[in-house]
């Protein structure tokens, strides 16, 4: 899995990456590597690229609110990034929307809740056929814009 954060999400990203490694997950750290000011789009894009090219199965991005990183990641074809603030939204994003990137707001979530959200997100399977029609429409609309159609 790929992880990345800006300066505001750095500490939480570090904690998440360590916990995930301790649980046996392979973690690709896309940065940032300090609390020096850094732009969230750079790290969200790096994580999204790893997921889109298949080098990582899922990604987690962290910034202050989780919104800008999700917006950035969703610009990469094939990415379905969801900003989640609780366990229910994390489970829904995976089961209903087949989310492949989780976006978290370090300024809005405490560390313990963020860990619960990550574990719930990773443990929740895609709902498959029940929701496939809608997710396929997301992919279809994305493809229209990639081909210059509307």
Catalytic positions, written as ranges? 96
Q: For the chain, what's the residue count?
A: 150
Q: Which among 1, 4, 2 is positioned nearest to 106, based on CA atoms? A: 4
The dihedral sign for the CA sequence 66, 68, 71, 76:
negative
Cα-based distances in Å from 130 to 38, 106, 126, 127, 135: 40, 32, 10, 6, 10
């Amino acid at each position: 899995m790929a992880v990345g954060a800006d300066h505001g999400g750095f500490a939480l990203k570090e904690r998440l990456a360590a916990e995930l490694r301790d649980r046996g997950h392979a973690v690709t750290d896309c940065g940032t590597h300090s609390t020096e000011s850094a732009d969230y789009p750079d790290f969200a894009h790096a994580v999204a690229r790893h997921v889109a090219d298949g080098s990582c199965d899922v990604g987690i991005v962290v910034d202050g609110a989780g919104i800008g990183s999700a917006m950035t990641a969703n610009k990469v074809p094939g990415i379905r990034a969801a900003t989640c603030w609780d366990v229910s939204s994390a489970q829904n994003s995976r089961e209903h929307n087949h989310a492949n990137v989780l976006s978290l707001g370090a300024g809005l979530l405490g560390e313990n809740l963020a860990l619960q959200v990550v574990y719930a997100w990773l443990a929740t399977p895609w709902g498959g056929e029940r929701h496939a029609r809608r997710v396929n429409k997301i992919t279809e609309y994305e493809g229209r814009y990639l081909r210059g159609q509307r």
